[in-house]
Chains A and B, each alone.
Chain A
């Protein structure tokens, strides 16, 4: 206790107040126009509503928050703990009660909840500080700690991976697995597939691709056109669409892969947009904004999953002597997505141990050193790009066949950004990380439908927060792909 008191640094109250006041002032300037005034979507056009109470509340919260941080830095957790716990309790109680009187004027419930969570987090931090009297972790110590956590997670991936796999395989047969859950799970699997594909490009090879949606689109439209005009089955169209997407990857990659990071990002963004605009306007080929519909559903090696078998053959159920249930098609799609994802994972894990995979990672670390060792940068990058594109194409094909319909509005830059967010937040290069990130970023908002509006806002904020806090991603620990001990004593 005496130690804690001795460690408490001299606290400059006046300075802290002035600093907090400055922050509050800046917040007022930031929010006065856009938060204080709301231009309602009214028919009159110039309707305006005022919400100055929001501005005031945000500024007040900023003031208090900044003051709290200053107090914590000076090792005075007690006042912070007391105030924040009180505030958090009051806010949470009122929110849960759905009361008429509200502590904060904000209209949006998720925002209020976010404030509540922030208050609880602050309390926890203050409590930690009080109990441990530990100084704030320096950046290196934080990194080292996260690295150890990341290492432990990565090691537990040894059993976490199989566990998730078992869960995924048995999901449709669990008692609470209804259609909605399966739909969400299939959506998450699609994004996992896409995330793993982009992971090869961004995570392993370090090529910042902001136009990944282009390959997704090429896969989807190729599949649709092949299935509609050439009447080919799923199992023929899928690899063809993948190859076409890979080809697109090579075409797009060839001229641009030697560009530096930032420039490559913008150029790939441009490509993504170009593809979308072409899809939107080339009516003769792609039906433009109307899109292509009537895409046939996948079959189980030729056996359709329908209630009644076709005239000249069996359906899946008639062949196996099973009773048809409408959910069976959903289950089939789910397993299809799972199979595609697992293939992607298998190929990726295998390639990481091969020279080309190692070359990808080496290129990411230091391209100049790679050139000095005889690694051909452009060809190596092209393989990453093409392989990632192929998996994107698979994702697109699956999307096309699942929806039965494709249109350009599914392939905006936003999709690229979402997939990138999944890869980045998961810790670039980490397969498990992508799974967790997809579950978090796609699954969660689907389950809590009310959050859908705020999903992108949260994405953006999460991307910024995680990059600032931990620039290498959440689970960016890396184990070497080959160990000396694997190969025994020398011959």
Chain B
């Protein structure tokens, strides 16, 4: 029982991280109909920027955890969002009216470029971080498996839920959100009624990058170590989450993220840890074959 609860907590925490990244995928797909293949790299860059900021703060001597966290959070969000903006501006906007294949190739090219960019600048080895947030609550100490619910995990869950709530507010209450939903429905029409489509799309990328950067920070805190390759794997899993939840649907992305996190945690705990990634990939393939609209997505009827 204790073991099960532990996996549940671990899975939820992991799922929060995936969900944050998945929202970026689903938003971009919803608005311009393409998979932002380089989104995983944005997540990775967020993690690296967070790491560097921590190291700098450490050297400068800012030790009080809440302040450090706040600074790191703000710096990561700000600097990574610029990457999101630049990605769209440089690689995707010129190809908005080109065949989809071209846009996908560009995305893959950017993904390769960003991975190697970070690798060349920061070195290929893993980057370890001293634990920043320690301690937690323990349950079921008398039973066969004591459950630990760490403060870090609580923080991750809390912050993520807060961000998702804020984000949903933006989508449904603000002008940007309305513009975005309009563009998602019909890009041409949205521009005809006066919506600045370029700006809306750019802001979508920026928002997605911001969320992914927070995910990167969480990842860094949770695992304590990062390298330039984490974007690839996390990216595919987050994409799987977006597809599982229904691509184009933000609540779907959150739900999908949670499910993938749980599946990964339980699979590696109860079956085999080597094949946990295979499990996630298999889910991706199965969902796309049997229910491509995902759990919360709308069926897509092709116009002939």
Contacts and interface: CB of A to CB of B under 8 A. Distances in A.
Contact of A464 (B45, B100, B106, B127): B106
A216 to B, nearest CB: 18
A277 B109 contact: no
Interface stretch (B110-118, B139-147, B169-177, B258-266): B110-118
Interface residues of A, dominant DSSP: helix
A261 interface: yes
A456 B232 CA distance: 15
Contact of B281 (A45, A270, A424, A457): A270
A71 B83 CA distance: 27
B210 to A, nearest CB: 14
B92 to A, nearest CB: 9
Interface stretch (A7-15, A28-36, A185-193, A234-242): A28-36
Contact of B49 (A26, A33, A280): A33
Given A26-B86, A45-B128, A259 B292 contact: yes
Interface string B84-123: 0110001100110011111111101111111111101111
B236 A33 contact: no
A116 B91 CA distance: 23
Interface in A394-441: 413-414, 417, 420-421, 424, 428
Contacts of A271: 281, 285
A34 B108 contact: no
A270 B112 contact: no
Given A38-B122, A263-B292, A281-B274, A460 B99 contact: no
Contact of A459 (B56, B109, B236): B109
A457 B91 contact: no
Nearest to B124: A41
B79 A33 contact: yes
A424 B108 CA distance: 12
A417 B49 contact: no
B59 A46 contact: yes
B202 interface: no
Interface residues of B, dominant DSSP: helix
Interface residues of A, number: 59
Contact of A460 (B55, B83, B85, B110): B110
A274 interface: yes
A273 B277 contact: yes
Contact of B105 (A39, A368, A467): A467
A306 to B, nearest CB: 39
Contacts of A41: 123-125
A262 B112 contact: no
A262 B100 contact: yes
A271 B289 CA distance: 13
Nearest to A467: B106
B56 A37 contact: yes
Contacts of A480: none
Given A34-B122, A463-B105, 8 more contacts: A32-B79, A255-B289, A277-B275, A420-B105, A463-B109, A464-B110, A464-B113, A471-B102
Interface of B: 34-35, 45, 48-49, 51-53, 55-56, 58-59, 75, 78-79, 82-83, 85-86, 90-91, 94-95, 98-106, 108-118, 120-125, 127-128, 130, 232, 236, 239, 243, 274-275, 277-278, 281-282, 284-285, 288-289, 292, 304
21 contacts: A29-B82, A30-B83, A32-B79, A38-B122, A38-B123, A39-B55, A39-B123, A39-B127, A48-B52, A108-B120, A261-B104, A266-B288, A274-B278, A454-B120, A457-B112, A459-B113, A461-B109, A467-B103, A471-B95, A471-B98, A472-B99
